[in-house]
Amino acid sequence: MNYPKLGIRPTIDGRWGGIREGLEEQTMGMARAAKALIESHLTYPDGSPVKCVIAPSTIGGGAESAKCADFFATQNVTGTLTVTPCWCYGSETMDLDPLTTKAVWGFNGTERPGAVYLAAVMSGHAQRGLPAFSIYGHDVQDLTDTEIPADVQAKILRFAKCAIAVGLMRNKAYVGIGSVSMGIAGSNIDADFLQKYLGIRAEWVDMTEVLRRIHLNIFDREEYEKAHAWTKQHCIEGIDVNEKPHTDEQKAEQWAFVVKMTLVIRDILMGNDKLNDIGWHEEALGRNAIAGGFQGQRMWTDWLPNGDFSEAILNSSFDWNGKREPVVLATENDGLNGITMLFLKLLTGSTSVFADVRTYWSPESVERITGMKPTGIAEHGFIHLINSGAAALDGTGLSKDHNGNPLIKKWWDVTDEDIAAMTEATDWCHANLGYFRGGGFSSHFRTQAEMPVTLARLNLIHGIGPVLQIAEGHTVTLPDDVHKALDDRTDKTWPTTWFVPRLTGEDSFKDVYSIMARWGANHGAFAYGHIGKELITLASMLRIPVSLHNVGDEDLYRPHAWGAFGTKDLEGADYKACETYGPLYK
């Protein structure tokens, strides 16, 4: 895999004859230290370390800047980190490539003015319309100090992680299988948005392609037998709520169908070399997808088994082959939620969970229905996150770290014990035929652990463009009887997560109701951990403003030029900066 790399640019005082020579080792030392830091902490989606390349030489002027740019062009460099301990000639040494995401680390030492260069080159970036992130340590260091301070490390790593995410999306595809589901606006895949903001190609595949491949056996039949056997053993059927249920024979046929459908959808998105062996060379190529969605409702589900099994398994961190990288597949072809899931996956290395943002439960309503008033972190109420039958099984919250704490793991850390726990906690209810006339099986579980998570949603707003919403919080567990009383009021065959956003007492986060009331769509996605600050940094790189979040001002890290758009109203400044600079790939 030709993953994008970070390019490190060691800039230096260009004056030969006594000044430059004495700075070579220190400057290159900063570059090597930054490279080691990034490569030891960050990973690509397959779990391998992120790779950095250093310019062939220190950069003291325009000629060496050009040589560096030529070298980086051969290395698939997506972002650049310029480092220096000294004064350099700003406009001669800066990165002028409009498509690289940029940061500059100026050493905070008094012997040489690295911080002065940092300020000068930030001015140059602002004047040239090339936003860059400023990295400046809080404390003065000695000339001989080769350690990277903790605050500098944090900024380098956040910048690098997000810059790699930008590069991973570039020249990939979002593949919508089908079209618009039930009039859901997010299903209207906006090709201009994907292209101009993310560098992603929009592709559409008619749902009849899934049928064609199933009927003509265009899938790996050996893997199908393995997958079908695994499903029979590990996917236990749950309740059937239908007054006139399908027969056991019909259900067996539907199980076979949805397993084949899962293989087919994966192959459409990602390709499969095994198809070459059976003579289907075009189909073996796939669509170069980094994410996709399945329309399902209603043209498909009124007649054929729903996509719940396919969506749940593909989005999970494992299948019949064991642990593997999650495949982002959006329910109801909600591409905006699919891209949100993609953001979350790229920043965490773990799966993200698709959900309807269904209901706000106030403490008073909970007490009225159940007789119990919620306590603890749920005391101010909570939001019911529930997907219409499909959610990644990692959402059970049953993976455990070495200390037995629950979490959603990076997929490469998932163990056989984790997989067993997740599958045993999930049953597969036969589809509610009122919704899904063609049958199928819905993943049914509840999140069984209290974990830090971040809920997010990307929206498109006429006259503005894309905006991102973020709510850090926790999943909560409820007593069995309380859970059942509330959960059964919706659909007892679907997966449930009870979510409590972290309140700040201000604006949209003054209470749980306000967050629910101001959420921008019927869908959202959540991932493990409080990663709102990383989402905000990534959004600024893509020129997407953030319309709602509960991240503290001290954790906001955006390009240095954002400060020129205002420092009191940071949300307004973000909107104005994104409007001014426009999408990354105009």
Q: Which residues are annotated binding-site positions? A: 332, 356, 523
> Which listed residue (64, 190, 332, 472) is catalytic?
332
In eight-state DSSP terms, residue 109 is B
Residue with tokens 């499969």: 272
| 237 is an active site residue | no
DSSP 560-577: GGGGGG-SS-HHHHHHHH
Query: Which residues 6+ apart lie within 8 Å of 8 measured at CB?
Result: 31, 34, 35, 52, 53, 54, 55, 80, 81, 82, 83
Contact 84, 121 (CB under 8 A): no
Token pair, residue 476, equals 């909560």
Q: Which long-range contacts (CB under 8 A, 24 or more apart) does 215-218 make?
A: 217/278, 218/264, 218/267, 218/275, 218/278, 218/280, 218/283
- Give the number of C-alpha atoms closer than 13 A to the C-alpha of residue 72, restricted to the C-beta side: 27
Known binding-site residues for Mn(2+) equal 332, 356, 523
**Any idea what the Cα angle at residue 106 is, between residues 103 and 111, rounded to 5°?**
170
Distance CA 268, CA 284 (A): 8
| 356 is an active site residue | yes
DSSP run (H or E) holding 483: helix 480-487
Output phi, psi for 335, to 5 deg. -65, -30
Contact 130, 96 (CB under 8 A): yes
Question: How many other β-carbons are positioned within 10 Å of the β-carbon of residue 364?
Answer: 10
Question: How many other β-carbons are positioned within 10 Å of the β-carbon of residue 285?
Answer: 15
Residues in the chain: 586
Distance CA 273, CA 407 (A): 34
- Which of 90, 88, 81 is CA-nearest to residue 31? 81
> Which listed residue (13, 203, 319, 356) is catalytic?
356
Torsion sign, CA atoms 422, 427, 432, 436: positive
Token pair, residue 380, equals 């101010």
Catalytic residue IDs: 332, 356
